[in-house]
Amino acid sequence: MDKRAIVVKLGGSIISDKKVDFSYREEVVLALGSAIAASHERVVVVHGGGAYGHPLAKKFHLSSSSARPSPEGVSETRRAMFDLNAQVCDSLLIGGVRPYTFSPFPLLSAAGSKGVAWVNALLDAGLTPITFGDVVRGPDGFTIISGDTISRLLSRSLKASRCVFVMNVDGILDENGDVMSSIDKASARRLSGQVSSDATGGISLKVREALKMAASGTEVAFVSGFRPKEFSKALKRLSFHGTIVRVPSRD
């Protein structure tokens, strides 16, 4: 059995309804948590901001580019993310997962082997590390670091075998709205116009980060969170309904 970690990114659009501010899909997260617990895989969870983070990020002009929002905006947005994280953890606990929440900032600050050893120690103890998109202080002000980017950084540091992006659609859709069974650099170029209006880059960022992960040795899967059985298959590296980004051949 491959004992490398699997990073699961729970998209904000699956754990909440982005059309309804501060909504939360408890039953969906509970089903996904049950699937994670039943898989017996070493899973690290990252979740997005969805209907909690994005409305406040928009209100206070926070984005993944340089920004100088008000102290109120930073505090309000972070509080909302911690509120959402608490609900996600409650649902995962009911589903049989034992989450251990951490803000991404300490991990990203603990460069190299120290941060990796810390996460692996949590996994060895039977816990599921969980973090989320956050507001971080950079050299030019406060910015948002997206859950997609955190997933890529974690996948690289942990040498994860797979990263599973859990979405509100069945995978990456082509220009006709059909699910693409796989994607590579060439097909990704045709999708360059698919950019959502949220604060963190939308589908375009997910695809870019997925290609980087694959280049670093982590296979990537995109699957619908409304299909827990397909999510389970993606976790177990079985054939599933969705999109896959394979590690390029070194031949």
Cβ proximity of 17 and 51 under 8 Å: yes
Range of the domain at 142: 6-245
Cβ proximity of 39 and 78 under 8 Å: no
Tell me the CATH number at 131.
3.40.1160.10
For residue 107, is it within any domain? Answer: yes
| 235 Cα distance to chain centroid | 14
| Closest to 144 (Cα-Cα) out of 222, 191, 80 | 80
For residue 250, is it within any domain? Answer: no
How many Cβ atoms are within 10 Å of 192's Cβ, its own excluded? Answer: 10
For residue 251, is it within any domain? Answer: no
Tokens of 113: 């082997």
For residue 58, is it within any domain? Answer: yes
Structure confidence by residue, pLDDT tens digits, 88-135? 999 999 999 999 998 876 565 555 567 788 899 999 999 999 999 988
In percent, how much of the chain has pLDDT > 70? 88
Per-residue confidence (pLDDT) for residue 200, from 0 to 100: 46
Torsion of CA 65, 66, 67, 71, to 10 degrees: 110
Structure confidence by residue, pLDDT tens digits, 15-44? 999 999 999 999 999 999 999 999 999 999
- What is the phi/psi pair of residue 176, to 5°? -100, 0
pTM of the model: 0.91
Per-residue confidence (pLDDT) for residue 185, from 0 to 100: 85
For residue 1, is it within any domain? Answer: no
For residue 106, is it within any domain? Answer: yes
Per-residue confidence (pLDDT) for residue 250, from 0 to 100: 63
For the chain, what is the mean pLDDT? Answer: 88
Give the number of domains in the chain. Answer: 1
For residue 208, is it within any domain? Answer: yes
247 vs 139 pLDDT, higher one: 247
Cβ proximity of 234 and 161 under 8 Å: no
